[in-house]
Amino acid sequence: MARGGVFCVEGQWHRDLNERGSVLPTLELLERLGRIRFIHKDAATRDELFYFLDRWLLKQYADYRVGFFAMHGEPSRLCLTDWDSVELTDVAQRMAGRCEGRRLYFGSCSVLRASDAVLRDFLEVTGAALICGFTRDVDWVESAAFETVLLDVLANGQRHNAAELRMGSAHWAPLAAYLGFRVIYANGRAWRPAARPRVPTQAAPGGVADRAR
């Protein structure tokens, strides 16, 4: 099966031009492991962001169905630099009706703390299958470890709720809950992981199931 395609547009995280922090190493790792193909672009202004979104949504890139927004954020807003930001509603209008089947991941602090009405309207306007991201400020290293798995699942999972199933597992749910991870689907359903997922019971030698502690 062909590796899933990820389109990533990354904001300018740092004021200091010597800083080199980027999500690019995560994408390169997944590519070298044979898990994804990716396109990565930098955007420092609203016009640059919209230009790359328009290019991504052309028919020739239809197999890059995962959109990864890697930038600072606030509830309902993407922050490209310290002084240039864009509202989710404006992003939705730019992509209106062109995101059928796409899965959108906002690797940005607190963006998914937007109201349910804003997020569901975003999905209705764009036609995307789902949006996911964080409801709180997240640590760079912790979120990088998390999204190494998440991007693989979003790009290659065949079921529409593949990310929910993996990130809600006993292994990943505690970190997902700690980061405030959330998924909203096109049908309006919202999902958050349980901090302590229930561990399936196993039958004890005497035939009585042990209780998960």
**98 pLDDT higher than 60:** yes
pLDDT in tens, 78-93: 999 888 899 999 999 9
**210 pLDDT higher than 50:** no
Mean pLDDT of all residues belonging to the chain: 88
Q: What is the pLDDT of residue 2?
A: 62
Nearest by Cα to 146 from 105, 186, 118: 105
Half-sphere exposure of 203 (CA within 13 A, CB side): 3
> What is the model's pTM?
0.88
Q: What is the pLDDT of residue 83?
A: 86
**204 pLDDT higher than 50:** no
Percent of the chain with pLDDT over 70: 86
**213 pLDDT higher than 70:** no
In sequence order, the 6+-apart residues with CB closer than 8 A to the CB of 134 are 106, 107, 108, 109, 110, 111, 112, 143, 179, 180, 181, 182
Q: Rounded mean pLDDT of 8-17?
A: 75
Nearest by Cα to 4 from 60, 70, 63: 63
Q: Give the CATH number of domain 4-191.
A: 3.40.50.1460
pLDDT in tens, 14-66: 655 546 568 999 999 999 999 999 999 999 999 999 999 999 999 999 999 99
For the chain, the residue count is 213
pLDDT in tens, 122-143: 999 999 999 999 999 999 889 9
